[in-house]
Structure 1
Amino acid sequence: MEIPMLAPVCLIENSPAGELQVQQEALRVLAEIHQPVVVVAIAGLYRTGKSYLMNKLAGKRTGFSLGSTIQSHTKGIWMWCLPHPRRAGHTLVLLDTEGLGDVEKGDAKNDTWIFALAVLLSSTLVYNSRGTIDQQAMDQLHYVTELTERIKVKEVGQGGRQEGADSAEFVRFFPAFVWAVRDFMLQLELDGREITEDEYLESALKLKTGSSEQTKLYNLPRECIRQFFPARKCFVFVPPASRGKMCRLEELQEDELEPEFREQVARFCCHIWETSQPKTIPGGHVVTGAMLGNLAVTYVNAIRSGAVPCVESAVLALAQIENSAAVEEAVAVYKEQLGRQAALPTETVQELLELHAQCEREALRAFMARAIKDDDCRFQGELMRHLEEQKQELCRRNELASSERCTAALQELWDELDDRIVLGVYSVPGGYQCFLDDRQRMVERYPQVPANGVKADEVLQEFLQSKEVAAQSILQTDKALTEKEKEMAAERARAEAAERERQVLQQKKAELQQKLKDQERSYQENRQLLKEKLEDERKKLLEEQGKMLDQKLKELENLRKEWLQEKAARIEAEIQRLQQQNKELQNPPWIESALASLHEGACLVLPGIFGKLTGRWS
């Protein structure tokens, strides 16, 4: 961003009636961010100090409202966008969510939507709690158990919703999970040995064996966290200051805070800054600020309509917006490149086509960098049509510039002959031959005029043809020639004109061949760039699959250690499914399908492609 935000703004307002609404001011801010965004959201019970941690991540003492009473200050979701302190060319987006479990609000469903939105929009989710990670803390995190009811991966097919498949797919786009335990007063020990914060969390997430209802209730939140957030981290924080100073936490100087607390906050911030990844959507597409704003609108609109936010639908809606913008951006890049380099007229059509090709390549790169999920190549085909129209307009302008320059040059050269005609220089015996000699000298001088361009021969032919009446008049009045000689001279003039016409037609045919071959070049370059993009997406999918597989294998190992064979068997089935998907991704059918779609679209907008296929040119 050119102008950093001085303070947070409300991204999603939560009205007293529980109505969610995306705020236009926040969308305007996001629309100006074309960099990848690293989105860190914090959620947790109200009055647990979430805003303080977010201010520290922003590198500020103040910003997000802390409050000093038992009331929850943050309503809805507030946003702060800042230059990322560790990643050049990235923007850090901090989302501070409304405190969960606010007794004044008393709307658990609304809380769940806030939590679900934090999950959907972030690349790192910080869950903030107080005290210890005990059963009460797990019970308070019941929102995670409702995620499968509040989020779906794909639209429901005829067979209805597949809960198991959905929940397994969540890992693809769910954020990294950080549990921040505030006011932690215990020693990090287990069975008499010192343990790390991460070991403390993993110990708290261990499952119990058995099938009783009590055991199921105990295991449910733990299973959800293990399943949905395989990438997780834990930080514990001692109380920052004495109880009397806590109400002035925002005003306290650093040296008034507990040294251990300051060290813990510093470690927490460094971890978030250094490990949080840019926000992505399924397929590995990196999200920009503008895209994040569109995702927020799509998800909130779904909630407002009474539907369950669907990641697939949101990505498809986002793709429509981004791909349309990608076409516009690519055309703008083409025009910008052309404006820098075009000096019309060019001497040859080939020179013009090379100029077009250079600008087109830059436009294609811009499009490919931004386009997402253009599976049927509809938008790439649209871009091909736009660029072909731009090329045709460029050719028209080039020909017009050439025609105007050539006509002006010929008229200037002809003025001398015109003066001689007016003075009657050629109205004498032998005047016709004198006229022919002077006209030939004019024709020989014509190519010496700089930058005549592609229409030089055609304009010359048309110009001489327009002066043929004057030439024939001089011929017929030349008393030195017999009627037979005049007839022969006229025939020679017609033959010369016919030869010039033939040469012009031959030149036009050659230029048409060049233009058709340029269309073939354009198609092949479009195809190659598309293939490279699809291969890159395939590799990203394989990387996603690999991460999921590693996480499932790790979970399987843990379940076996805990002697939870039934749950281990379910994970084994998921691992087998992932392994099968990996095999299918080695040669995915959608690559050939996309290339075929591109070819079909190219045949409609690039006649040269069709011409080559039918043997009309070689």
Structure 2
Amino acid sequence: MAVLSICGPYRSGKSYFISRVLGSPGAFRLGHSMQACTRGIWMATTVLECPDFAVVFLDTEGIDAVGASETMAMSLLTLTTLLSSFLIYNSKKCGESESVRVKKGFFPHFLWLLRDVSLKMTDREGKELAPTQFLHTRVFASESGELTDLGKSLVSLFPSLECATLPIPSTKRDIIRGIVEQQDKLKPAFNAAVDALIQQVLQKVAPKTAIDGTTTVTGKALAALARSYVEAVNRPGALPDLDQGWQAVVRLELKEVSYKLVREYEREMEAALVGNLPMEERYFLRIHEKTLNRKKSVLREEICRVNPLHSSHEEVQPLLDQLEQDIATWSEPSDNGGRKVTGGPLYCFTIRNFTASRKHSEILFNYLVKDSKVMQKFENAVRKSVSLDVESDIKGIEVKYHTRAIGPAASEVLERGLSELNQLSETLKRIPSAPRNVQVIGKGSDRIKLSWDTPEQNPDAVEEYVAYKRIEGEEWEEAERTENTRVLVKGLESCTKYELCVLATNSHIVSLMQSGVDAATKATVADGALNGALACLPGVGVILTAAGKLKPTQQEPLPADSRNTNRDCRIDKAARLAAIPLCLPALIFLAPLAPVGAVVCAVGAVGNQVGDLTEE
């Protein structure tokens, strides 16, 4: 990017000329009073496109403007000079050169534009000189022909120092005031001189370079330079540090380069890993290192390009380390010297590889377990309550897994899977068989007492026995738990038949349920009294039977006009009345014996209850 700037005394036509160079006479605002129109530094909103670069135009506040301090004028001139690649100093008299003050540093090409020149430029002998010769021999040289201090400074600091002149545009004041709108009324000599000067300027304008003289300044770099220089000139007594200002630009540009390189790293890693995950960690890190080294090489080249004066190993290495840190953050080395990725794009790719490895490893392990049929052996062992040793099967699964598992999660999945299999294997080695010889050793109206022998297989593995109960046709429910080989099952219903069984358990597994025992509870006192009373009243059944015979008999239907209907009904009623005298003697004879039977049965029930208490 080239920066074409113009500066000089106010009311000297700076804004008009640079607008003409831009190709738009009204690009910058023109003033027609004693007050300065341009304040500070203005940049044109359009650029001039050249084949290899673009030209930015700057118009500055005039030197010695009304209300402007000398410090501000010099600061603006210094800032404009430092930012420009081609600087035009616009004035109407050569004597105004004494107002020019520049600071040591890197400077643009310098063109001194003299306005409203009507006289010839000659040497001391009257020989006509070109404007540039006049500048060097008359303005910057003393009577003896030697350069003045100002001339020496300008010649040594600016790459080129030239001079050009423009004649007066018009002698009419109204045309000068409306110079933009009345350009066709300007003197032809003035327009021709302006056009020729524009061509001369555009041929010599070149991109802005850095302090090293070789690096081209970009638009963002120009903005960073402007910010740095403005901060410097706004500090009282401070001078812009050109090297520090440029280093700020370099840091900004290299930061953008690093950001782009990180994005390129992500794209290249994505292309290398897609469809290839999971992969072993050593291959994964090898791809990372190759990609990272390519990005480091690009950054090293960019450093040499934008900052050749600071491209030694000591100055470049911190930037390369920062790029590596932006791509991957590592933990501190562990006791075994290993490190883990904790941040950056590499961490994201590491997580993806680990996740893919874990999924692949889990599928592989489950397949090998299923293929070995070890789970079927486990199920059969549980079904038959027999111990099982599957160490050889587990070892076979481990060997096959090692030959086919891939990625960083393989060891973790194998360790977890083998732990579960070994734990199940150890459990199956301690399966207790069912308790033996379950039998009833006592019972009452609401309880039954059971005893049994310890299991034949792994009796020492039994931690607890659990008794279950159910009434025939209903679901099993837990009744009691004990660590002994006998238990009293309580809370039963009297005079009820139950199925009972006992299981041996530990914290890992339960034995199979063997065939239980059947047992019925005894009667209560109330049950005995009722049963005795009913037993002593067999006549009740006779009475009920007789009562049943008193019901109307079922007869075949007769014709509607039958004459025997009334006679049959009279015979049936007579039979009912005749049955009543036959039942009364039985009731009178058996009724006194009912209390005796109830007492006898009640005594028996009390004896059962006492027996229950004795058994407990």
Question: Which residue does the alignment assign to 1:233?
Answer: 162
Equivalence map 1:247-266=2 (5 Å): 247-252=177-182, 255-266=184-195
1:129 is aligned to 2:91: yes
Count the aligned residue pairs: 401
Correspondence list, 1:77-96, <5 A: 77-80=41-44, 82-88=46-52, 90-96=53-59
| Residues 108 and 159 in structure 2, CA contact (< 8 A), matched pair in contact too | no
Residue 272 of structure 1: which of 189, 201, 207 is its match? 201
Q: Whole-Å Cα distance in 1 between the matches of residues 199 and 84 of structure 2?
A: 18
Instruction: Sort the Cα spacing of 1:458 and 1:55 in 2 relative to 1 into closer, same or farther, 3 A.
Output: same
Percent of aligned pairs with the same amino acid: 21
Say which is worse superposed, 120-129 or 239-248, in terms of deviation: 239-248
Contact 1:42–1:97 at 8 Å: present in 2 too?
Answer: yes
CA distance in 2, matches of 1:369, 1:379: 11
Q: Is the Cα–Cα contact under 8 Å of residues 127 and 178 in structure 1 kept in the other structure?
A: yes
> What is the Cα-based RMSD across aligned positions, in Å?
4.2
Q: Distance in 1 between matches of 2:382 and 2:202?
A: 90
Aligned counterpart for 1:407 among listed residues 361, 378, 381: 361
C-alpha change, 1:240 and 1:401, in structure 2 (3 Å) is: farther
Higher relative contact order (CA 8 A, sep 6+): 1
Match of 1:160 in 2: none
Q: Which amino acid aligns with 2:361?
A: T
Tell me, in whole angstroms, the C-alpha distance in 1 between the residues paired with 2:7 and 2:215.
25
Counterparts of 2:285 and 2:244, CA distance in 1 = 43
Kindly state the Cα deviation for residue 100 of structure 1 after the two structures are TM-superposed.
1.3
Supply the AA of the counterpart residue of 2:238.
Answer: V
Q: Name the one with the larger strand percent.
A: 2
Distance in 2 separating the partners of 1:437 and 1:338:
38
8 Å Cα contact 2:3/2:57 also seen in 1: yes
Q: Which amino acid aligns with 1:113?
A: S
Report whether the alignment pairs 1:142 with 2:82: no
Question: Is residue 311 from structure 1 mapped to residue 275 from structure 2 by the alignment?
Answer: no
Per-residue CA deviations over 1:69-115 (Å, capped at 9, x if unaligned) read 34321011111254442144x4422211111122x226333322221
TM value normalised by structure 2? 0.55
| CA distances 1:415-443 after superposition (whole Å, capped 9, x unpaired) | 56476356539989999789849965994
The structural deviation recorded for 1:322 is 5.0
Amino acid of the structure 1 residue aligned with 2:95: D
Q: Paired residue for 2:227?
A: 297
1:387 matches 2:322: no
- Determine if contact 1:41/1:95 at 8 Å carries over to the other structure: yes
Is 1:424 the counterpart of 2:357 in the alignment? no
Partners of 2:2 and 2:55 within 8 A in 1:
yes
1:118 aligned to 2:74? no
Q: 1-side partners of 2:286 and 2:20: how far apart?
A: 56
Query: What letter is aligned with 1:289?
Result: G
* Structure with greater helix share of residues: 1
How far off its partner does 1:246 sit?
1.8
Q: 2:63 aligns with which of 92, 100, 111?
A: 100
Greater Cα radius of gyration, structure 1 or 2: 2
Q: 1:178 aligns with which of 111, 115, 131?
A: 111
Rounded Cα–Cα distance in structure 2 between residues aligned with 1:248 and 1:115: 28
Q: Structure 1 pair 475/51, CA: closer, same or farther in 2 (3 Å)? A: same
Alpha-carbon spacing, 1:105–1:423, altered in 2? closer, same or farther (3 Å):
same
Cα pair distance change 1:64/1:83, threshold 3 Å: closer
Runs of at least 5 residues in structure 2 that lack an aligned partner in the other structure: 330-343, 432-616
Q: Which runs of 5+ in 1 are unaligned?
A: 1-36, 131-136, 152-166, 478-618
**Equivalent position SS for 1:41:** strand
Q: Please report how far the alpha carbon of residue 224 of structure 1 lies from its aligned counterpart in structure 2 after TM superposition.
A: 3.2
Structure 1 residue 313 displacement after superposition:
3.8
CA distance in 2, matches of 1:341, 1:475: 49
CA deviations 1:209-236 (Å, max 9, x no partner) are 55xxxx99x9344333323324123332
Partners of 2:381 and 2:387 within 8 A in 1: no
Distance 2:129 2:289 in 1: 65
**TM-aligned CA distance change 1:380 to 1:265, over 3 Å:** farther
Aligned mates of 1:432, 1:267 — CA distance in 2: 104
The one-letter code of the counterpart of 2:350 is: R
CA shift for structure 1 position 53: 2.2
Q: Which residue of 2 aligns with 1:201?
A: 135
Match of 1:11 in 2: none
Greater shift in the superposed pair: 116-125 or 260-269: 260-269
Query: What letter is aligned with 2:2?
Result: V
Q: Which amino acid aligns with 1:311?
A: L
Would you say the 8 A contact 1:198–1:233 is kept in 2? yes
Supply the distance in 1 between the matched residues of 2:2 and 2:69 (Cα, whole angstroms).
Answer: 30
What corresponds to 1:58 in structure 2?
22
CA distance in 2, matches of 1:337, 1:241: 66
Q: Write the letter of the residue equivalent to 1:315.
A: W
